[in-house]
Structure formats: C-alpha cells, structure tokens
Amino acid sequence: MEKLRVGVIGCGSIAQYRHLPEYKLNKNVELVAVCDINEERAQATAEKYGAKAYTSYEELLCNGLVDAVSVCTPNYLHAPISIEALNAGVHVLCEKPMATSKQEAEEMIAAAKANGKKLMIAHNQRFVPSHQRARQLIQSGEVGKIYSFRTAFGHGGPEGWSVDGKDSWFFEKEKAFVGAMGDLGVHKTDLLRYVLGEEITEVGSFVETSAKNFADVDDNAVCVLKTESGIIGTLAASWSYVSKEDNSTIIYGEKAILRLEEDPVNSLVVQYANGEVVNYQLGKIQSNDAGGQNTTHVINKFVDSVINNEEVPVTGEEGMRSLEVILAALESNETKQIVRVRER
Ligand SMILES: NC(=O)c1ccc[n+]([C@@H]2O[C@H](COP(=O)([O-])OP(=O)(O)OC[C@H]3O[C@@H](n4cnc5c(N)ncnc54)[C@H](O)[C@@H]3O)[C@@H](O)[C@H]2O)c1
C-alpha cells in the first residue's frame, strides 16, 4: 500500500510534541513536508524528520506534494489554511479551536464537502480513557439520571508552553481571538458534549484578564451551562493556576458521582450512592508536562479515517458545536445575559 504523504503546517509546540512524532511512528505515513514562517524552525524540523521545509503554506499546498496536512498554526490561520488545503484536494487535521467564528467554521465544513476531503478537529480529550469510560457508564445507565457537573482546565499559561514563550501569539487578540476561554475552555465544552451525549443549550459567563497584564485576551473564565435535557454545571478555564494543572471533571448522577482526572493515580473514581467506590487506573491524561510519552490517538485516528475512507471521529460539525458554546460564552460576558447557543 502506498503511504499517505503528510505535511505539517506550523512547527511550534503542538507539532513538536504531538503531530510530528505521532506521524513519524505511523507506518502508513510518509512525512514529506513541514512549514513555518520562522525559517530556522522550518529547516530544523525538516532536517529532524527528513522532510522538505517551506516558509509559505501556499507553496506547500500548490504542488501536489501532500495528501493530508495538520494545521498547527495560531488560531486565526486555522480557517484560511484549512480551506486552501481542502480546495487543493488535501485532507485536513486542524487544531482547536477550529476557527474564530461560526462563519469560518461553516466555510471549512463546506470546503470539505465540496472537495470530498476529510476535515477532522484535534479534540484529543475525547480519546482519554477515563473520559471514554465515563461516557460508556453514562450511556449504559450505570450512573442514572445526570443532575450536574463541574469541569475545569487550567495551568500557568501559554508562556510555559508556546515555542515563542511570553512573546507568543497566544496573548494577541488578533491572532488568538480568545484567551483561556477558547484555548482551554473549548476542550471542555467538547468533552462535556461528548461525555454527556447531549448539546449545551444555554450559557452564562464571566471572562476576565486578571493575571497577565501584558495580554490582550482573557486569562480566566467561569461559565454556567445548561444542556438540552436540563443538566446544569460549571466550566472554569484558566491560565493562572500557578502551581498545578487542573484538568478535572466531576459528574453528579442519580446513582453515582464520577470523578475524572481528579486523583493523580486513579484516573476515574466512581462513588456509588450506596457507599461503594470503584477506582479505575486507566493511564495518565496527556498534559503539557507529559511530552511525547503517550499518544493522543488523534493523529492515528485521522490517518486511519483517510486511508479507510471512513468518517473522522471528530468532524467539522462537532468542532463547530463545541466552538459555538465558546462564542456564546463571550457574548454572555459582553451582554451580561444568558445566551441560547443554537439560536445565535
Ligand atoms: N490539542 C491540544 O491539546 C493543543 C495543545 C496546544 C496547542 N494547541 C493548538 O495548536 C495550535 C498551535 O499551538 P502551539 O502551542 O503549537 O503554538 P506555538 O506558538 O508553539 O507554535 C505556533 C507556530 O506556528 C508558526 N506560524 C505562525 N504563523 C504561521 C504561518 N503563517 N505559516 C506557518 N507557520 C506559522 C509559528 O512560527 C510557530 O512556530 C493552536 O491553535 C493551539 O490552540 C492544541
């Protein structure tokens, strides 16, 4: 079988920690091209992976060199690059948040459809074993009716992660469009939709810049959310959890409480109403500190979907719905009103 020829656009941290090494390990992939506007970075990455270096994504896309690309650039470039790739007949794995507006997201979905190419959004939280097990327990009725939830994603901020440190695009509104609310919050709106198996329909939120006076985006956000069946809960996203990352979710049901990624050893703890406790050790969640030790599954799933011509596990529509909750949260903060998600 011919190998899938892949390009990676943007050679910053997520490309270095996840996309590049995971493509390299995939036997069905040939990593043929990398692109970064920082020429030195593009060259160094190309040398490390035996690929060709580009500083212009247009050039990479126009010569028929690749069958698929990962889009690992700042957020404001996700839609233009993805659309250009899809129109060039190239499958796309795009990082989150998928776009900066609903309109952009719709244009990406339309471009994938028009060209008959795959568009997957890299929502890796869906592939974390504790999250998958929680979804199964809820779907099977084991937890009973779900009443409420509490989810959080916070760390010290992108200056400790981005390849450009404190000078990163993450802090510029024009390039990031949103701060912690979009960067980390969208992981959790996607996770809630996935684990609960229903849509979030109403959002109220406070979105602040509290800790990073050099940033022109938010670094702390707290939302109250309501789902279509009436489950209510909170979501916190932060770039100012200074000493320890929080990536936890708690789901309160009729028959049990599920604690996901809260305990450092037991990635899922199920506390039943009758006092019984079941601990699951399902492996660690990927974190900024974990480097390339464990796979996200995102890259392999994308490659499999392209090769087998199957639907990708996280479609553009799914990415858009998770983004819409973030857009509603931003609107709620502006208007000081509860915002209905799908009616916007
Ligand atoms: N799925 C996850 O868990 C996860 C984690 C971190 C980041 N991300 C997402 O990945 C994307 C990239 O984030 P990062 O942490 O790697 O950022 P980063 O700052 O480390 O790297 C971004 C890279 O993009 C390059 N770039 C900028 N403009 C470009 C252009 N026009 N063409 C090519 N390259 C360009 C920069 O030079 C830089 O090397 C973001 O959308 C971010 O939200 C996802």
Give how many domains the chain has, as a whole number: 2
Say if residue 155 is in the same domain as residue 280: yes
CA of 131 to the centre of ligand 1 (A): 25
pLDDT per residue as tens, the chain (344 positions):
789 999 999 999 999 999 999 999 999 999 999 999 999 999 999 999 999 999 999 999 998 999 999 999 999 999 999 999 999 999 999 999 999 999 999 999 999 999 999 999 999 999 999 999 999 999 999 999 999 999 999 999 999 999 999 999 999 999 999 999 999 999 999 999 999 999 999 999 999 999 999 999 999 999 999 999 999 999 999 999 999 999 999 999 999 999 999 999 999 999 999 999 999 998 777 665 544 346 889 999 999 999 999 999 999 999 999 999 999 999 999 999 999 997 65
Say if residue 72 is in the same domain as residue 195: no
Look up the domain containing 306 and give its range: 4-122+297-314
CA of 73 to the centre of ligand 1 (A): 4
CATH number at residue 180: 3.30.360.10
CA of 283 to the centre of ligand 1 (A): 26
Say if residue 84 is in the same domain as residue 156: no
Say if residue 66 is in the same domain as residue 86: yes
Q: Which atom of ligand 1 approaches the CA of 42 most closely?
A: 39
CA of 21 to the centre of ligand 1 (A): 15
Say if residue 155 is in the same domain as residue 33: no
Q: Which amino acid is at 91?
A: H
SS3 labels along the chain: CCCEEEEEECCCHHHHHHHHHHHHHCCCEEEEEEECCCHHHHHHHHHHHCCEEECCHHHHHHCCCCCEEEECCCHHHHHHHHHHHHHCCCEEEECCCCCCCHHHHHHHHHHHHHHCCCEEECCHHHHCHHHHHHHHHHHCCCCCCEEEEEEEEECCCHHHCCCCHHHCHHHCHHHHCCCHHHHCHHHHHHHHHHHHCCCEEEEEEEEECCCCCCCCCCCEEEEEEEECCCCEEEEEEECCCCCCCECCEEEEECCEEEEECCCCCCCEEEEECCCCEEEECCCCCCCCCCCCCCCCCHHHHHHHHHHCCCCCCCEHHHHHHHHHHHHHHHHHHHHCCCEECCCC
Say if residue 230 is in the same domain as residue 328: yes
Q: Torsions phi, psi of 221, nearest 5?
A: -145, 140
Say if residue 78 is in the same domain as residue 33: yes
Say if residue 118 is in the same domain as residue 131: no
Say if residue 270 is in the same domain as residue 218: yes
What does the alpha-carbon distance between residue 77 and residue 98 come to, in Å, rounded to a whole number? 10
pTM confidence score: 0.97
Say if residue 255 is in the same domain as residue 307: no
Cβ–ligand 1 distance for 188 under 6 Å, the answer: no
CATH number at residue 302: 3.40.50.720
Pocket test for ligand 1, best of 9, 11, 14, 190 (most atoms within 8 A of CB): 14
Say if residue 154 is in the same domain as residue 279: yes
Say if residue 282 is in the same domain as residue 304: no
